[in-house]
Amino acid sequence: MGPAVVTTIGVLFLLSEMGSGYFHIGHTYPVLFIVIGVILLASAVAPMDGHVEFSGAPPTPPPVNPTPPTVPPTYSNPYAGQGQ
């Protein structure tokens, strides 16, 4: 509801600044009440199929099987690659 109300107020101020005559903010504030009513009505009539209740706690991730550590390769010559 918040973004719709802020957008409506922005449009009303824009019409107030651009328009002349009837589009004064004092004449157009009932539009804000109409938008709030439409949003409340739409949320009351919306189907609840597929909605999940929020329990407050985040879902726990599934357990991850740890991978076994890799065994380092064995070398037959302990001095190989040391510049000798």
| Both structure tokens of 15 | 């019409």
Q: What would the pLDDT profile of 13-43 be if each residue is shown by its tens digit?
A: 888 888 766 777 777 778 888 989 999 998 8
What is the pLDDT averaged over residues 62-84? 70
pLDDT at residue 68 tops 60: yes
Under the banding of pLDDT at 50, 70 and 90, the label for residue 74 is low
pLDDT at res. 83: 59
What SS3 class is residue 54? coil
Amino acid at 66: P
| pTM exceeds 0.75 for this model | no
| Both structure tokens of 50 | 């597929």
pLDDT at res. 75: 62
